Amino acid sequence: MGSRYQDKADMPMPGSTPAVGGRTETQEPLRRPRGMAILHWGTVLLLIAAAAFALIRDEVAGRVARQWLLEGHRHTGLLVLLLAVLRIGLRLRHGRLPQAVHSRVIRIAAWLTHAALYLILLALPLVGWALSNAEGKPVTLFGAALPALVADDEDLADALLVWHQDIAWALLALVLLHIGAALYHHFVRRDDVLRAMWPWRSR
């Protein structure tokens, strides 16, 4: 009888999860600050717009239309940079956030993926900004002239163009990985990771 009662005492309480790596974690609904969710989806929309401006520009022949699309690409890219800075600041302000219960390897992989995404969201617009400067083109944001990051340099412009394209491909790969992970959480693990990022979720 003593062993039976001992077994019952060792059973996890309702609402808790078994120990992971020697530590018991309470499984509670994940929550993310609404501001973080809004900035997240705002960044998504701006990235889609920036990509659309760049792709459509390659198919347009008119000089005026191409210039308008280029300015649209620059503006959305600079706004992505602004939102990335805000997101990093907000993330640092909130500190450690509740996480889904995972193994240490998966948690490290998720952290590295998010860190790489933040780094690319900073680097891609900055390289594009420097590219315009190297091509001798002024960079403005809603009519305000921005300082030049580099001097006019044709060779540097060629190198920056390659870097800009390579970083864009790296971003696409990470975004696809991010989407795949979110869908895995939602449809396979059936946890709150995806729902936690909806800005319009009910309280």
CA pair distance 56, 63, nearest whole angstrom: 13
Listed by start position, the domains of the chain span: 33-197
Q: What one-letter code names the amino acid at 17?
A: T
At the topology level, CATH places domain 33-197 in Fumarate Reductase Cytochrome B subunit (1.20.950)
Radius of gyration of the chain (CA): 23
Q: For the chain, give percent helix, strand, coil, nearest 5.
A: 65, 5, 30
CA pair distance 115, 166, nearest whole angstrom: 18
Write out the chain's pLDDT in tens, 203 residues.
444 444 444 444 343 344 333 333 434 556 667 888 899 999 999 999 999 999 999 899 899 999 999 999 999 999 999 999 999 998 888 766 666 656 788 778 888 998 999 999 999 999 999 999 999 999 999 989 999 999 999 999 999 999 999 999 999 999 999 999 888 877 887 777 777 777 765 44
- 13-45 burial, b at 16+ Cβ within 10 Å, e below that, comes to eeeeeeeeeeeebeeeebebeeebbebeebbee
At residue 29, the pLDDT reads: 54
At residue 1, the pLDDT reads: 46
